[in-house]
Structure 1
Amino acid sequence: MSPARMAAYWALRAVLEGEDLPRALVRERDRLPDERDRALVTELTTGTLRWLAALDYLVVRTSGRPTSRLDPEVLAVLRLGAYQLLYLDRIPASAAVNESVTLAKRIGKTSASGLVNAVLRRVADTAERPALPRNPGPHGSRAAQLAYLSVAGSHPAWLAARWLDRVGFERVNGTRRFNKPGSQERVRPNPGTYIY
């Protein structure tokens, strides 16, 4: 079991329970000696949070259960696994699924390991994976535009609605490029540098 995935799980759970992201990330990253593991914790946690709506959409459709009926701990494992399958090219699908099943067992959710395995295998299989809402274009219905922006773009529905009202679909859709994996620039403090 990868220590980075375990740390990402705890950071994600902390943030979803109300802790601020920087504090949760620093706490979990500082426990890991390897810089590559620390980088993976950051990628898994921030990426999962960035694409939460799209991940939940897929989890709901592949599990047949609303997120409210899934154990929050199991849901966090499913979200992390689905993020790796959809957005990280360098992690093989088999590794993402197997590590997620192992993670479920490690956190004491052994009874849910079959569910985690089944859901993530469906997400990994592009033939079985439900499609995210398609781009309806500027002439599509408002409902289709909102579904596309809030699910495929992973924007909060209220924010997507506000943007549509203020600037229109074409302009809002043009900003989606900033949500693509790897496009966000990150700033982090250098602990050895002081500015006076």
Structure 2
Amino acid sequence: MKPKTIREVALDVLLQIEKNQAYSNLLLNQTVNKASLDPRDVGLLTEIVYGTVQRRDTLDYYLEPFIKKGVKNLNDWVRVLLQLSLYQMVYLDRVPDRAIVHEAVTIAKRRGHQGISGMINGVLRNVRRQELRSFDEIKDETTRLAIATSHPVWLVKRLVKQYGVEEAEQICLTNLQPPQVTVRVNQTLASVEEAIDLLQEDGVEVKRGHLSEDALIIKKGNATHTQAFKSGIITIQDESSMLVARALDPVKGMDVLDCCAAPGGKSTHLAERMKDKGRVIALDLHEHKVKLIDQLSNRLQLNSVQGQVMDARQASKHFEKASFDAILVDAPCSGLGVIRRKPDIKWTKNAKDIEAIQKIQKEILSAVVPLLKKGGRLVYSTCTIDRTENDKIVQWFLKEHHEFIMDPSVIERLPHHISEKAKIEEGSLTILPHHFNTDGFFITAMLKQ
């Protein structure tokens, strides 16, 4: 049997994402590992899958005039094949349009019958010959922005309400860009300069990060294939996420609780900043995720991180009152700050999901209050930019727990230039994706009196 082409593999992956609501990043990793693909093919596969998911509604808008019965009435595999083909024709320039059309027709013949392959051939050839329709046809401003940037209308309305039209547009446009890869240098094992040298020896080009002194941005190469990665000198982490450990500011000898810790990026960063002296209890609800924390701690050669399977909402039943010097609640959230990394989030989440997750965020925060020592610091962070999961949760918490006050000194622990773009209020920081080309993130620090 003839092996599948990259575009056939992409079609399979995209159909699985749609039918099973599988996460694109996880599914892609599994597919790449199974298929033993050439590195150049991995790049193209990733680009086609992410790009097609990211631009889904824009692609459908472009296709609609060419399909008599409407895009939504097509068989799933036919619609997705047209989407991924059009994505390549509009947004990629490495493959000629005629080759894209030819391969789409070939795939259609294998999967369907002469009629379907003929229809696909006709649609894509017509697309080649004609200009794509303008977004100006859409009169409603919010709907136009939603289709042009391929975001659900409910989400664009929400962003406009919370941030205004201009900021919402910037968020949506940035969500369409590929994320940069950043690594954190484990300074218990090497300096940033030593890490740069090691990476360059393995052919990886890097530059210093913008927000975190232990961050490196990968310009070229695969950092995970290097000796620096294998020996625990670096780990993959977004720069905005690296600010959380600074906000908490743990020191040697502390007992720290990380409530929702998997896969362990922040737990291990806390341990590194404590020089691996003290204890970081890293909780997660699922055993397989706690194993990821343990694996990361072992690779980074950190002994102070202790992974435990536990629902953070039950933590007060397992630990003594006032037994932690500092607590991190990097809460479960809608993930609306990481759409660039997980583009399927915008299609699988809805407003009701945000309401449901708020309940969990409140329960976790309330549950850990008794565990923090007087004078201890509590950091609440999320990788969402939705204000109801961020500012509103903090306002609720302070109203419910009068023994806590905001910690404005958190700003002193963050890079001074962050205030040029990010939204800073007393004790709280909101980073939007376009501010520094990082994940969207929210961080707030509070002190227990």
- TM-score of Structure 1 vs Structure 2, range by shorter chain: 0.7 to 0.9
Report whether the alignment pairs 1:175 with 2:209. Answer: no
Give how far 1:55 is off.
0.7
Match of 2:98 in 1: 94
State the Cα distance separating 1:80 from its structure 2 match: 0.6
| 2:32 paired with 1:29 | yes
Alignment partners' CA distance in 2, 1:122 and 1:175: 33
Q: How much has 1:156 moved relative to structure 2?
A: 1.0
State the distance in 1 between where 2:95 and 2:151 align.
25
Asked if 1:70 is matched to 2:74, the reply is: yes
Provide the C-alpha distance between the structure 2 equivalents of 1:184 and 1:114, rounded to a whole number of angstroms. Answer: 37
Partner of 1:146: 142
Q: Distance in 2 between matches of 1:72 and 1:99?
A: 18
1:114-133 paired onto structure 2 within 5 Å:
114-125=118-129, 128-133=130-135
The structure 2 residue matched to 1:14, chosen from 8, 13, 16, is: 16
Match of 2:261 in 1: none
Listed as ranges, the gaps of 5+ residues in structure 1 are 137-142
Provide the rounded CA distance (Å) in 2 between the counterparts of 1:176 and 1:63.
27
Note if 1:190 corresponds to 2:207.
no
Matches within 5 A, 1:32-47: 32-47=36-51
My pick for the range that moved more, 20-29 or 40-49, is 20-29
Cα deviation code 1:78-113 (max 9, x no counterpart): 011010011001121111111111111222344311
Tell me whether 1:84 sits opposite 2:84 in the alignment. Answer: no
Structure 1's 88 and 107: CA in aligned 2 closer, same or farther, altered over 3 A?
same
Distance 1:179 1:65, change over 3 A: farther
Is the CA contact 1:101–1:113 (under 8 Å) kept in the aligned structure 2?
yes
The alpha carbon displacement at 1:76 in A equals 1.0
Q: Deviation at 1:60? A: 1.8
Q: Shift of residue 146 of structure 1?
A: 1.6
Q: 1:23 to 1:189 in 2, by over 3 A?
A: farther
Instruction: Decide whether the 8 Å contact of 1:10 with 1:28 is kept in 2.
Output: no
Shift of 1:63: 1.2
Give the conservation status (yes or no) of the 8 Å contact 1:105–1:113.
Answer: yes
Instruction: Give the gaps of 5 or more residues in structure 2.
Output: 183-221, 231-298, 302-449
Number of aligned pairs?
187
Larger radius of gyration: 2
The two structures have a TM-score, normalised by structure 1, of 0.83
TM-score normalised to structure 2 length: 0.38
- Percent identity, aligned pairs only? 28
RMSD: 2.6
Q: Does 1:161 align with 2:157?
A: yes
Change (3 A) 1:102 1:177: same
Change (3 A) 1:17 1:176: same
Q: Distance in 1 between matches of 2:30 and 2:9?
A: 9
2:63 to 56, 59, 63: 59
The answer on 1:5 being equivalent to 2:1 is no
C-alpha contact 2:104 2:120 (8 A) present in aligned 1: yes
Alpha-carbon displacement from aligned partner over 1:37-92 (angstroms, at most 9, x marks no partner)? 11111110000000001011112222133233101110110011010011001121
Q: State how far apart, in whole Å, the 1-side matches of 2:100 and 2:4 are.
A: 10
Is this contact kept in 1: 2:89–2:97, CA < 8 A? Answer: yes
Secondary structure of the residue that 2:65 maps to in structure 1?
helix
CA distance in 1: counterparts of 2:181 and 2:5, whole angstroms: 23
Cα 1:100/1:147, change in 2 over 3 Å: same
